[in-house]
Structure 1
């Protein structure tokens, strides 16, 4: 079992959430908060991994210039416009 001192401001906020019926208990509020932190940390870890992959690609010269990407996108979207006309 975890015991935590949230401080007066957060404790008051948690109590208000329970009082209004948004949550059934303080524990429910805290579990939701920890779940949200866990989700955020998971997304941040995925972002860090993607950045690391991108940096490795750049170091190993596995990149495409921005102008080449823009040219491909322009061609793609011009083709889409022409097929709808």
Structure 2
């Protein structure tokens, strides 16, 4: 993978935070920390997109004629949570 150099500007407070993360031993340098933030942001955006798609699908499916207790019992059974 080709690595590109970027220049960013941060506040003193943000710089202190980045340095504290590096000093904690979790990251070797600023770049490692920022790449991790980008990976987390990408993963979160993907999860949000999946959730939005599920919500749209649910809205488009219309109102169920099933009783709430039946829906709940089916969900519990699907996830192995039956009493």
Taking structure 1 as the reference length, the TM-score comes to 0.69
Deviation at 1:10, TM superposition (A): 1.4
| Number of the residue aligned with 2:12 | 8
- How many residue pairs get matched? 73
State the match for 1:54 in structure 2. 58
User: What's the CA shift for 1:71?
Assistant: 3.9
Partner in structure 2 of residue 43 of structure 1: 47
- Distance in 2 (CA, whole Å) between partners of 1:36 and 1:10 is 18
Point out 4+ residue stretches in structure 1 off by more than 4 angstroms: none
Structure having the higher Rg: 1
Pairing partner for 1:22 from 19, 26, 37: 26
Gaps of 5+ in 1: none
Q: TM-score, normalised by structure 2?
A: 0.71
**Measured at CA, do residues 22 and 52 of structure 1 come closer, stay the same or move farther in structure 2, by a change above 3 Å?**
same
Alignment gaps of 5+ in structure 2? none
